[in-house]
Amino acid sequence: MAAPGLAQTATTDALPAAEPARPRTVPASAPSGDILVTARRRSETVQKVPLAISVLDARAIDATGSFNVLKLTQIQPSLQFYSTNPRNTTVNIRGLGQPFGLINDGIEPGVGFYIDQVYYARPGSATFDFLDIERVEVLRGPQGTLYGKNTTAGAISITSKAPSFTPEGQIEVSAGNLGFVQGKASVSGPLSDTVAIRIGGSATKRDGTIHNVTTNADVNAQDNLGVRGTLLYKPTETFKLTLSGDYNRQNPDCCVQIYVRTGPTQRPLNRQFAALAAAFNYRPPSTNAFDRVTDLDGRLEAKQIIGGASLRAEWDVGPGTLTSVTAWRFWDWTPSNDRDFTGLPITTVSQNPSKQDQYTQELRYAGNSGTLDYVGGLYAFYQKIDTTGSQVQGSAASRWLLNPGNVAVGSAGCATPTTAACNPAVLNGLTSLNDIHFKNTSLAAFGQITWHVTDRLRLQPGARVNYDKKTGSYVSTVTNGTGTALTADQLGVLAPQSYQPSFSDWNLSGDFTASFDVARDVLAYATYAKSFKSGGINLSGLPLNAANTGVDLTTQTVKPESVNHYEVGLKSQFLDRRVTFNLAGFWTDVKNYQATVNNGQITVIRGYLANAGKVRTRGIEADASFRPSSQLSLYASGAFTDAKYVKFVNAPCPPELAGGNPALNGATPAPAGVPGLSPLVCDISGQWLPGVSRWAASHGGEYRVPAQLFGDSEFFFGYDGSYRSKFSSNPSRSASTDIAGYYLGNIRAGIRVNRTWEVYGWVRNVFDKDYYEVLATQSGSTGLVVGQPADPRTYGATLKARF
């Protein structure tokens, strides 16, 4: 059972140029088995590479509507992608990658993202629309030897179309409901006998899917623009230079999470959502999230500008190729959010504008000699992030965040107006200005050898040594707008902080793979990998110390993750290569898993980082494709993933065990959901990891009918379906934040003529399934659960022309 295009392989910090994959009119799992990938830093047939990889070529991407990483999750069962806004983006594979919760700049993701051999350090900087893509490779499992420390869960590698010395071009226009309009265009050709150029651009606009009754505007819209240019200089057959540059701008009215439900907490009943809302005579505009309305009163903005340039030199020297990849990337993020998720002035401003610059340099040599294939190289990375965040409390914050003791809360207001919680002025205007800086330097040397012991048996050892140094600064300045000293109530909500964390360490990654050709088109392999994800520093504020007299400086850093990974697989083709069937079984243990926790303060918006004892993910993946005739192509993929905390004894508690006064000195906490004392931490050993379904699958196909309309043409009909079982949307699992399983279907039908133009109609989410992409809880343990409803049914048409 195979997603559109599949295979299996190993990886790197950057990838070499490959021969272009043969264009297909169906998902890239053609029975001929000649899909080419570059996951081992050389161009290879995917069925001959001994590790798990799924491949999508340009036609599969277009056919399935996978125009960004988020859409890939519907056809890649082992891939999970969550984004409440571009900065708070999480990409996981097999349940691992990055902890759930608001992003902390001080750690790195566990799924590497690469475009044309260049690493993108922030997942948010990879949320733009695909532009002029040749193929996408999703590499599953640790890839630390060649890709480096950022790939303990896997990697996503995207290869753009290269400049051509034969003139060519393509134009694509799509339109649909919700005001959806998308245009793409690219052109390529020679400037001289030795220089070729390729230029592409795309623009996407779509109305929002949620209506804000406060502003009378539709939000969660799309407004994307991207351009990319590439120059190829090829003076000889043995040397070439590729210079690329790109610019992407996104400026949508985004991003909101809206009322879903309320659940019980241990906060006093008069401090939970229903009573607090009644005190303000407040009602959400709807208690059904799929009415898709909100009343948020804060300014919304999710503007980001992404771009950079790279220079790749490739020179055939001796028995191999010497490659140099030099790159610079930038990411400017300008947000504004409504973090109380209501139309009340509780937290009126919450934003963390951020600017990132990164520089990378890789030098490697790949070749072969006799029975040995080899690759080795050096890698350097430098990253700088500057963030100037702010948080401002409004006139409703006192009632919402402070504890008034035993006063009655109702629609008439406080029984004792002199109580701080009943005085709007106590927190109104309380402001935190956060000045955050981060520098990250990484150096590495790596190498991998494939020894062809016989014509059928290969042994592949590899190793990578890596050095990391991270330094940061976090300064939070808090004022109350009156110029007076901060009161105890104000300090309990926003406290000044200043600290300068640092981290440095060496680590060694390695792997060993044995592969054996059982038959001509049957490959068996087994892999062991020892991998690391670099340690990090906390840059979202620290918890208070035990005496509540200052921050706990022992929590400034987190330890590296240590990964032990085992995998076996079988890759096969039969019936004259019309059937491809691949199977992989894996077991991954992660020690010192980096997780987001909290400090028990009900007013905290952002948690901090800590190490869980151990997590484990294990499972089985199956991929297949079948072409019973030249007119019909079918594919299917399935994954069973058992991902859980093996040991996490100091975890944040779920909502039903939070919000009360702390159970100090051995006091007994109240039962779950009953107001009273709350445990300081919870033992969630044995619980599911968030964001990953135990069962996930995708399937589909395309049927074509030859015709002579307008020349050599064909009518086609395609269907793609995907399923996910229930999964947790909270770091500590709670019934309030579980997301129910769902099935989605997409269809398309149209005509292709002379392989030069095509027109087709499409419907995505054809059954109009209501489901959530993510759920979260409101800070303060009020019991409010908010969510991000996924797109409803959308439909439209696309016209393409090639020349």
Q: Which tokens in the block code for residue 769?
A: 């399934």
Q: Which amino acid is at 369?
A: S
Domain membership flag for residue 401: no
Taking the C-alpha atoms of residue 137 and residue 760, their distance in angstroms, rounded to an integer, is: 26
Is a pLDDT exceeding 50 seen at residue 569? yes
Rounded to an integer, what distance in angstroms lies between the CA atom of residue 520 and that of residue 506? 42
Question: Residue 779's domain spans which residues?
Answer: 6-394+429-802
* pLDDT (tens digit per residue) in 485-542: 999 888 888 889 999 999 999 999 999 999 999 999 999 999 999 999 999 998 888 8
Put simply, whether the predicted model's pTM sits higher than 0.95 gets the answer no
Per-residue b or e along 268-292, where b marks 16 or more CB atoms closer than 10 Å to that residue's CB: bebbbbebbbebbeeebbbeebbeb
Q: Which residues pair with 760 in a beta bridge?
A: 750, 798
Mean pLDDT score, 655-670: 90
pLDDT of residue 15: 31
Give a three-class secondary structure readout of 324-380: EEEEEEEEEEEEEECCCCCCCCCEEEEECCEEEEEEEEEEEEEEEECCEEEEEEEEE
Q: What is the DSSP letter of 100?
A: S
Return the closest-CA partner of residue 522 out of 48, 51, 161, 95. 48
- Each residue's pLDDT tens digit, 143-202: 988 888 888 999 998 999 999 999 999 999 999 999 999 999 999 999 999 999 999 999
464 neighbors 509 (Cβ within 8 angstroms)? yes
pLDDT of residue 598: 59
- Judge residue 751's burial from the number of C-beta atoms within 10 Å of its C-beta, 0-12 exposed, 13-18 middle, 19 or more buried: middle
Q: Which of 143, 48, 135 is nearest to 94 (CA)?
A: 143
Range 180-199 burial, b when 16+ CB lie within 10 A, else e: bebebbbbbeeeeeeebbbb
60, 72 contact by CB (below 8 A):
no
Contact between 196 and 163 under an 8 Å Cβ cutoff? The reply is yes
CATH (domain of 786): 2.40.170.20
- In a domain, residue 621? The reply is yes
Arithmetic mean of pLDDT, 129-154: 87
173: left (phi over 0), alpha (psi -120 to 50) or beta: beta
Cα four-point dihedral sign 250, 254, 255, 260: negative
Q: Which two three-digit tokens encode residue 297?
A: 């009163």
**Which class for 629: exposed (0-12), middle (13-18), buried (19 or more C-beta within 10 A)?**
exposed
Residue 406 lies in a domain: no
Weakest-pLDDT range from 117-131, 193-207, 741-755: 117-131
Task: Classify the C-alpha dihedral 508-509-515-521 as positive or negative.
Answer: negative
Q: Is the pLDDT of residue 418 over 70?
A: no
Q: Which residues pair with 738 in a beta bridge?
A: 728
Report the amino acid identity of residue 421. A
Distance set, CA 591 to CA 532, 563, 588 (Å): 10, 6, 10
Residue 400 resides in a domain: no
pLDDT of amino acid 549: 62
How far is 662 from 47, CA to CA, in rounded Å? 56
Domain assignment present for residue 407? The answer is no
Specify the 3-state DSSP secondary structure of 771.
coil
| 412 within some domain | no
489 is written with which tokens? Answer: 């109530």
Dump pLDDT digits (tens) for 485-498: 999 888 888 889 99
Determine, yes or no, domain membership for 232.
Answer: yes
Q: Please determine, for residue 633, whether its predicted confidence score (pLDDT) is greater than 70.
A: yes
Contacts of 618 (CB under 8 A, 6+ apart): 586, 587, 588, 641, 642, 643
Q: Taking a C-beta distance cutoff of 8 angstroms, is the pair 244, 229 a contact?
A: yes
* 3-state DSSP assignment of residue 673: coil
Q: 780 in a domain, yes or no?
A: yes
Task: Count the Cβ atoms, other than its own, within 10 Å of residue 765.
Answer: 19
Write down the pLDDT at residue 409.
Answer: 41
Number of domains in the chain: 1
Give the pLDDT band (50/70/90) at residue 33: very low
Rounded to an integer, what distance in angstroms lies between the CA atom of residue 400 and that of residue 410? 13
Mean pLDDT of the chain: 87
Q: What is the mean pLDDT of residues 710-738?
A: 92
- Look at residue 201 in the predicted model and tell me its pLDDT: 95
Average pLDDT over residues 219-229: 94
**Tens digits of residue pLDDT in 466-483:** 999 999 999 999 999 788
DSSP label of 553: G
Residue 21, CB-side half-sphere exposure with 13 Å CA sphere: 33
